[in-house]
Structure 1
Amino acid sequence: MKLDKLLKHRAIIWLLLAVNIPGTIYGYIWYGNQLVYTAANYPNWLLPFVPDSPTASLFFTLALILLLYPPRTTAGITVRALIEALAVVTSVKYGIWAVSIIAAGGYQGGSIVWQDWMLMTSHAGMAVEALLYARFFVCRKMLPLALLWTLLNDTVDYSYGVYPWLPRVLTDDVPQVRTFTFLLTLVSAAAAWLASKGVHSRRAQ
């Protein structure tokens, strides 16, 4: 397919890296205030569970690098598969989640400023690129582990209150957001499974 050939072109992958690496860094900066607040008010072991979207972007960035420079050892291929599985599930999940939450906040009367439009665009891009590249990944056997990790992240977020800060108008809708988040994790894992279908039969690793 022409699209597959285009997406696998090294120049295109490097272009995506040029976008995703700064985006990932910016994402962690965006979470800076919440990370500082969490460190001051919660046990430090909760900190890795706070910056959900940039961590998803980090997984996808690593997956792109491993697509450019695939490991050859059995252990390396296993690590690659796990990173790719986490990249697809979490990028689809948090990409859709961010767009949905910002839109829901606007629907309930919250203001949507230019930063919100930027975030919706970038997060939609996260989900799209993950689904497009899943066909080239060797992640399918690791998707159950990625699903379990993402469900664990959801459980920690909503059990300890370290979920991403919501628009002010949604602060009384946390139970509904929690339900949506868990359901979206399941949907994202299913989408990742379908998008990666057939990879292992086409590629011998």
Structure 2
Amino acid sequence: MQKIVNLFREMKMRRFILFILITNVLGTIYGWYYYKNQLLNSPFYFWIFIVDCPNSTLFFSVALYLTIKGKRNDFLNFFASANLIKYGIWTCFVLLFHRSYFFTVNSTLYSAIFVTHALLVVQGILFANATRFNKYCYLTLLWFFVNDYLDYFAGTHPYMPKTNIEVIKILTFSLSIISFIVVYILTKN
């Protein structure tokens, strides 16, 4: 009887993981769609640096898929986890910081975006616990700092009000370090 119960639990867990994978892939696709106007108005070589959140869910989807297939890549897991945490927090902060801009136009859309990005943070924290740190994980910091530099010195950050952009810039660079440290600590536990 216990074998049947364990099998049932395993089947439920597989379905849940598949659900997470599918929702992240769909979130990636919607995220690229969300940024379509900014992408169309930007040089193509900046595109990869514009779609931060969709990239985060793409990295996570690939990392989760490889993990499911028994081909876990600790660098990719670390990279995905740190990206999920950084950009999940960043988006929630920016939405609240500029709430009069985001929540007056389409409050339902931005409420959903807020909730889903809060869930990115949860995913990142949970996934980091299943990751081991290695020297390649430092490349995450390089990625973050190049991305941050381009966001605030080449203008690739998402469309948002310019009001108090310095606050957002400081937060962004800080989150690069904080999210890296958080994932590093989680990999050591």
TM bracket, shorter-chain basis: 0.7 to 0.9
8 Å CA contact 2:85–2:120 kept in 1: the answer is yes
The answer to whether the aligner puts 1:29 opposite 2:20 as a matched pair is no
**Which residue of structure 2 aligns with residue 54 of structure 1?**
54
What is the alpha-carbon distance in structure 2 between the residues aligned to residue 139 and residue 197 of structure 1? 7
**In structure 1, what is the equivalent of residue 108 of structure 2?**
114
Check 1:46–1:100 CA distance in 2 against 1; reply closer, same or farther (3 A cut). same
Question: What runs of 5+ residues in structure 2 fail to find an aligned partner?
Answer: 1-8
Shift of 1:172: 2.4
Question: Is contact 1:63-1:84 (8 Å) kept?
Answer: yes
Change (3 A) 1:97 1:14: same
Give the aligned partner of residue 78 of structure 2: 85
TM-score normalized by structure 2?
0.86
Where does residue 67 of structure 1 map in the other structure?
67
**For residues 161 and 67 of structure 1, what CA distance do their matches in structure 2 show?**
35
Aligned to 1:155: 149
In structure 1, C-alpha distance between the alignment counterparts of 2:45 and 2:91, rounded to whole Å: 24
Query: Does structure 2 retain, via aligned residues, the 8 Å contact 1:24–1:58?
Result: yes
Find the counterpart in structure 2 of residue 16 from structure 1.
20
Work out the number of aligned pairs and report it.
177
Instruction: Please state how far the C-alpha of 1:137 moved relative to its aligned partner.
Output: 2.3
Partner of 2:123: 129
Sequence identity of aligned pairs in percent?
A: 28
Instruction: Report runs of 4+ in structure 1 exceeding 2 Å deviation.
Output: 8-12, 137-143
> Which residue type is aligned with residue 82 of structure 2?
V
Q: Deviations over 1:151-198 (max 9, x none)?
A: 1111111110111111x3xx1211221111000111111111112214
Deviation of the 1:138 alpha carbon:
3.4
In structure 1, C-alpha distance between the alignment counterparts of 2:135 and 2:17, rounded to whole Å: 24
How far off its partner does 1:60 sit? 0.5
Residues 95, 102 of structure 2: 8 Å contact kept: no
Q: Does the CA-based 8 Å contact 2:132-2:188 persist in structure 1?
A: no
User: Structure 1 regions of 5+ residues with no counterpart?
Assistant: 72-76, 199-205
